[in-house]
Every structure is written in C-alpha cells, then in structure tokens.
Structure 1
Amino acid sequence: MWQSILNAPFFQSLELAVLDEEGMHALVFPCERTLEGWKHALGGMHVDVHPTHWRDWIEQDQTDA
C-alpha cells in the first residue's frame, strides 16, 4: 500500500512513486531517504527525484521477469 512521502523512513530500501504529466509512476530501482536527500539504494548515487508516495521495496526474483 502506498504511503505519503511525508512519513517515509530514513535509511531503508523503498519503492518510490513520482507524478508527471502522464500520471503516477513507480521507480524501477530501490531508493533510500538520507539526510541529504534521496539516493539509489544499491549504487549509492544521489537521485534527483521529488516522490509523492513510498512503500517497502520488495526484491523481485529475476527469473520472473
């Protein structure tokens, strides 16, 4: 279930949703909220996004893709 970005936890792998002119989209990689902003949870690089919602990141089995 999506939750408001206002209560997103810090330092946990999260799935983020962003809004654009076409609607809401979930990012395809996990992100972590840090004191400096959002970063890619696996690569550690800063991610310039303005998410609106979050939910726990659930690792997907690559054989299902």
Structure 2
Amino acid sequence: MHSFFTEWEPTSIAPSDRDLEICVLDYDGIVHTFPLACHKDGPNWVDARGNRHVDIQPTHWRNWGEFRWSMR
C-alpha cells in the first residue's frame, strides 16, 4: 500500500501555467480534494473557470485530471 501523497506535489512548487487539482487537510487531518480546477496566481489560488480567488490554503497539488479515479 502506498501513501496518498506519493501522487501529489507540495504547493510550494506548484506551477502557475496550468490547471491543477488541489487538496486540503481539515482540522482532523482528513484529506479533501477541491472540486474545481485551480491555478496559482502568485501566492493566491484562483478558480480556473471563473478566475475568482479561492480562499483556501491547499497543501498539495497534481495536474488536473491526473488520477481523478483514485479519489472515487
């Protein structure tokens, strides 16, 4: 069995030139994926569809669409 985070990269190295799937940890340490594609805009995260600021602090990312089946 492998760790969930082996499929993900830390947000500290997230690119800003593509749509990303992001995840967050809740207060209990449970991982949740954000349901919309996002991209990094400087230190902020933006909803890729509407270019609206997303007020979250993700911990990890991966390319949008990559391994989408793994969380279902």
Assess if the C-alpha contact under 8 Å between 1:11 and 1:34 holds in 2: no
Assess if the C-alpha contact under 8 Å between 1:17 and 1:54 holds in 2: yes
2:11 corresponds to which residue?
5
Q: Normalising by structure 1, what TM-score?
A: 0.82
Distance 2:40 2:18 in 1: 7
Shift of 1:47: 0.4
Q: Tell me, which stretches of 5 or more residues in structure 1 are unaligned?
A: 61-65
Report the count of equivalent residues. Answer: 60
Shift of 1:14: 0.2
Matches within 5 A, 1:12-31: 12-22=18-28, 23-31=30-38
CA RMSD of aligned residues (A): 1.7
Q: Tell me, which stretches of 5 or more residues in structure 2 are unaligned?
A: 1-6
Local SS of the residue matching 2:54: coil
Shift of 1:12: 1.3
Shift of 1:49: 0.7
> Would you tell me which structure has more helix in proportion to its own residues?
2
Q: Normalising by structure 2, what TM-score?
A: 0.75
2:3 corresponds to which residue?
none
Matches within 5 A, 1:1-65: 1-22=7-28, 23-35=30-42, 37-58=44-65
